[in-house]
Amino acid sequence: MAQIKQTIKPNGKYMGRRIMRKEDPRLLSGKGAYVDDIHLPNTAHVAFLRSEHANARITKLDISRARALAGVIQIVTGADLRGVVENIPPMGVLPDLFVPQHPVLATDRVRYVGEPIAAVLAENPYIAQDALELIHVEYDPLPVVVEMEKAIEPGSPLVHEQSKSNVAGTFKLDSGDIERAFRKADRIVTGRFVNQRVAPMPMEARAVQADYQAGEKMLTVWSATQIPHLLRSSLSRLLKVPENRLRVIAPDVGGAFGGKLNVYREEVLLPLLAMRLGRPVKWIETRRENMRAMIHGRDQINYVELAVTKDGRMLGLKCRTLADIGAYPQMLTAAIPTLTAIMATGCYKIPALSFELTDVFTNKMATDAYRGAGRPEATYLIERIVDMAAAELKMDPAEIRSRNFLKSSEFPFTTPSGLIYDSGNYKTCMDKALDLAGYNKLRQQQERARKQGRLMGIGLSTYVEICAMGPATSDPPGGGWESATVRIEPSGKVTVLSGASPHGQGEETTYAQIAADQLSVPFDDVTVIHGDTASVPPGVGTFGSRNTAVGGTAVYMSAQKIRTKMEAIAANLLEINPKNIVLRDGTLQSKLNPKKSVSVREVARAAYTAKKLPPGMEPGLSETSFFSPKNYTFPFGTHVCVVEVERETGEVKIIKYVAMDDCGKVINPMTVEGQVQGGIAQGLGQALYEEIIYDDNGQLVTGSLMDYAFPKATQLPEYICDRTETPTTSNPLGVKGVGEAGTIGATPALVNAVVDALAPYGIQHLDMPLKPEKVWRTIEEKPEAR
């Protein structure tokens, strides 16, 4: 349960208010329609044979017994795809990135456990599964590359023999005089932080269905995706189907968290199979497959050095980062860690930065965007090193932060990485969080607890992130524009068609709030449609906390255009000057004489009957806008976490959790809290429980939910949520984005709290996840503990 503080007033009839989500009755009563709920007659079911080895040559692949099984329609192997579709290239690259061939099905070589080798098409999923057991594969195992630090050592086995080493690509960022900063420093604080590999774990795993209507030459693909339009463009290129003969539908999508911001092998193969077979085909991923073959997130090691003066001023930050990108770069894989680089200085004014990134190949599934995508790693490394500096200087963690925060008067602020922070009020936000948490009292409590031998810890994390992806001029994962059509139907009801593709975030509600306020119509009269490339205007997709800031602005712009048109129509009907028209309570009225008015419905009717329109005006009430932001947005916040560590078991108990987030203007406080809380859950999940573990042979040890500890409700605390509101200048709504904030803020807050709790033992750092045994062992190994 969450305790919600509401300290900010709404700013519209609907905008800014806690309005129940339109999508929930459908989703909560089991009436949603996910890919698996869409049944087409005569569907063939697909199952994938996947590699059991992390690195091996395939010496034999015998499908004859499987092929002979009754009910098996066809079995497709890599050899069948030669000359058809051979390579799925990534989008986000680095200038020197080695880009390996990324086949749809492996042919003679596999490079991670779970890599698809063959696809079985059968009359039902049971038979498909039976057939997998009859396929005979022989492997010639090769040495496996698992740990990235070892992978870059000379002499390491190679993931791709065609590249000289396992260094996939590099990226450097230098700003200011770093050497001088380190010369002038009183202290240099250093840390090595492991940001472990985790799984996005959407409740709905991946799912693809495809159908080819030969008569219409129309290929329809249903996919649980975040990016229907980008997927359509990719499929068009790869399968050589014209974009206007290709329809991608993202129906209800059961979460994604970045995991479905991709173009996967299975997604490319299914449409191809549908075309070849002339039957609908369907693949519903199992959880075990999902954990092996959907992208993972994070997986960085950061070697950090912070130069500080003795009064806690930060002079320079050096960071060397290794990022484990797995075997084949997926869509944005290589570029995700560059977000860590550009956000590394966080909320602080640090004049000099040197960041060196190395993407490393290993025999694992690729990493890619996972909720936060590069920013959680940035926040973690800076917030950990700042805490270590505070500890070394015997300074309160809040104090060292406030001494180095950017001041609100300094915005817009150009960071060492060249970003322009739009707006911020870091100190106010932190102070409000500390107040709400009762920080001073907590410190007193901690002192008493320590005297009693109890291990209480208080952790702070102050973050700034980069959202509303992003200006079209920036490199992927920049994002770009988003579009929306707003249409008032002849009856006066409103349809919003969005190119963005929400999948749980609640834009069916927030877009309706925006439209309803701008058009002065009842909220219930607005319907939001998204996800079907055949019915919605072009779009980019939903990721990088961009939906409201970019997609929402497009809705706002279209609504504004309609409003102007309605005013002109109303003025014509009322025979007054359009300048004197005001839209209020569902009517367009004369400012001078409110009795002179027509309703939105009447105007809509006039627009479509087209009899009394101003001269030269086109009929109809439908407008489309593209919004291409000039800048990103930079939401920020402070999270405070209070823990008690049980000395004898190492268990961490969260006693209090305060989240003070600032995502600019808020359209719906409830959906914002939902995002913040879900984000915190995943952030704490990484800090406490979650870890994708591959063993020395590259076998996935945490391959099911019996072993991968994804947090359940009972393993999470109550959150106390509040916010400050500093509007952005990057869009007219003033909204910044909040989809990832919780994940970004939570992880360092928890780890800082635990390290603080263990301070009496002289413990300076512990790598995540902070499982009981690890904490227990760390204490046991300290002489102070004896």
Partner 1 sequence: MFPANFNYVRPNNIREAVQFLNEHKDDAKVLAGGQSLIPMMKLRLAAPEFLVDIGRLPELKEIDLDDAVLTIGSLIRHADIETADLIARACPLLAETAAEIGDAQVRNRGTIGGSLAHADPSADLPATMLVLDARFSVAGPDGRRIIMAEDFFTDVMTTALRPNEILVSIEIPKMSRRTGCAYVKMHQQASGFAIVGVASLITLGRNGRAEDVRVGINGVSGVPYRAHAVEESLRGKPVDERNIAEAAALAAQGVEPLSDIHASSEYRREMATVYARRSLQRAAQRASAPQRH
Binding site for partner 1 (CB under 8 A): 125-126, 128-130, 133, 286-288, 648-649, 688-689, 693, 701-702, 705-710, 712, 715, 771-773, 776-777
Give the nearest distance from C-beta 93 to partner 1 in angstroms. 35
User: CA-to-CA distance for 309 and 185, rounded, in angstroms?
Assistant: 5
User: CA-to-CA distance for 664 and 641, rounded, in angstroms?
Assistant: 23
**Beta carbon nearer to partner 1, 68 or 701:** 701
**Beta carbon nearer to partner 1, 403 or 647:** 647
- Contact of 219 with 278, CB cutoff 8 Å: no
Give φ, ψ of 408 to 5 degrees.
-60, -25
Sheet holding 187-198, edge to edge: 167-175, 352-361, 314-326, 297-308, 187-198
Instruction: Tell me which residue of 93, 107, 105, 227 sits closest to 530, measured CA to CA.
Output: 227
Give the nearest distance from C-beta 36 to partner 1 in angstroms. 13
**Beta carbon nearer to partner 1, 426 or 689:** 689
Give the nearest distance from C-beta 706 to partner 1 in angstroms. 4
Give the nearest distance from C-beta 127 to partner 1 in angstroms. 9
**Beta carbon nearer to partner 1, 438 or 711:** 711
**Beta carbon nearer to partner 1, 6 or 649:** 649
**Beta carbon nearer to partner 1, 297 or 739:** 297
User: CA-to-CA distance for 182 and 177, rounded, in angstroms?
Assistant: 9
Give the nearest distance from C-beta 126 to partner 1 in angstroms. 5
Sheet holding 482-488, edge to edge: 526-530, 494-498, 482-488, 622-627
Give the nearest distance from C-beta 294 to partner 1 in angstroms. 16
- Strand-pair category, 622-627 with 636-645: unpaired
User: CA-to-CA distance for 210 and 172, rounded, in angstroms?
Assistant: 42
**Beta carbon nearer to partner 1, 131 or 434:** 131
Task: Give the per-residue SS3 of 44-70.
Answer: EEEEEEECCCCCEEEEEEECHHHHHCC
**Residues sharing a CB contact under 8 Å with residue 614, sequence separation 6 or more, in sequence order:** 568, 569, 571, 572
Give the nearest distance from C-beta 757 to partner 1 in angstroms. 18
Give the nearest distance from C-beta 714 to partner 1 in angstroms. 8
**Beta carbon nearer to partner 1, 224 or 688:** 688
**The amino acid at 507:** E
Tokens encoding 576: 């007054």
User: Residue 166 carries which DSSP code?
Assistant: S
Give the nearest distance from C-beta 767 to partner 1 in angstroms. 15
**Beta carbon nearer to partner 1, 123 or 396:** 123
**Beta carbon nearer to partner 1, 95 or 453:** 453
Please report, for residues 75, 268, 275, 390, 583, the alpha-carbon distance to residue 214 in angstroms, rounded to integers and kept in the order given: 22, 18, 8, 67, 50
**Beta carbon nearer to partner 1, 532 or 646:** 646
Give the nearest distance from C-beta 643 to partner 1 in angstroms. 16
**Beta carbon nearer to partner 1, 47 or 360:** 47
User: CA-to-CA distance for 325 and 474, rounded, in angstroms?
Assistant: 22
Give the nearest distance from C-beta 298 to partner 1 in angstroms. 18
User: CA-to-CA distance for 404 and 401, rounded, in angstroms?
Assistant: 5
Give the nearest distance from C-beta 198 to partner 1 in angstroms. 13
- Contact of 334 with 366, CB cutoff 8 Å: no
Give the nearest distance from C-beta 708 to partner 1 in angstroms. 6
Instruction: Tell me which residue of 632, 657, 653 sits closest to 644, measured CA to CA.
Output: 653
**Beta carbon nearer to partner 1, 286 or 729:** 286
**Residues sharing a CB contact under 8 Å with residue 157, sequence separation 6 or more, in sequence order:** 55, 142, 143, 144, 145
Helix (H, G, I), strand (E, B) or coil at 274: helix
Give the nearest distance from C-beta 694 to partner 1 in angstroms. 11
- Contact of 739 with 547, CB cutoff 8 Å: yes
Query: Interior CA angle at 726 toward 725 and 732, to 5°?
Result: 110
Q: Which residue has 């449609």 as its token pair?
A: 529
Give the nearest distance from C-beta 113 to partner 1 in angstroms. 16
Please report, for residues 347, 443, 655, 671, the alpha-carbon distance to residue 427 in angstroms, rounded to integers and kept in the order given: 10, 19, 24, 25
Distance of CA 255 to the CA centre of its chain: 10
**Beta carbon nearer to partner 1, 641 or 692:** 692
**Beta carbon nearer to partner 1, 96 or 695:** 695
Give the nearest distance from C-beta 649 to partner 1 in angstroms. 6
Instruction: Tell me which residue of 119, 111, 100 sits closest to 142, measured CA to CA.
Output: 111
Long-range contacts (CB closer than 8 Å, 24 or more residues apart) made by 700-706: 700/113, 700/114, 700/291, 700/292, 702/291, 703/288, 703/291, 703/292, 704/287, 704/288, 704/291, 705/287
Give the nearest distance from C-beta 773 to partner 1 in angstroms. 5
Tokens encoding 72: 């098996």
Q: How many CB atoms lie within 10 A of CB 103?
A: 20
**Beta carbon nearer to partner 1, 224 or 573:** 224
Residue 588, strand partner residues: 583, 598
User: CA-to-CA distance for 131 and 719, rounded, in angstroms?
Assistant: 48
**Beta carbon nearer to partner 1, 62 or 773:** 773
Give the nearest distance from C-beta 709 to partner 1 in angstroms. 4
- Contact of 483 with 491, CB cutoff 8 Å: no
**Beta carbon nearer to partner 1, 243 or 651:** 651
Sheet holding 455-464, edge to edge: 2-4, 719-723, 652-662, 636-645, 455-464
**The amino acid at 259:** G
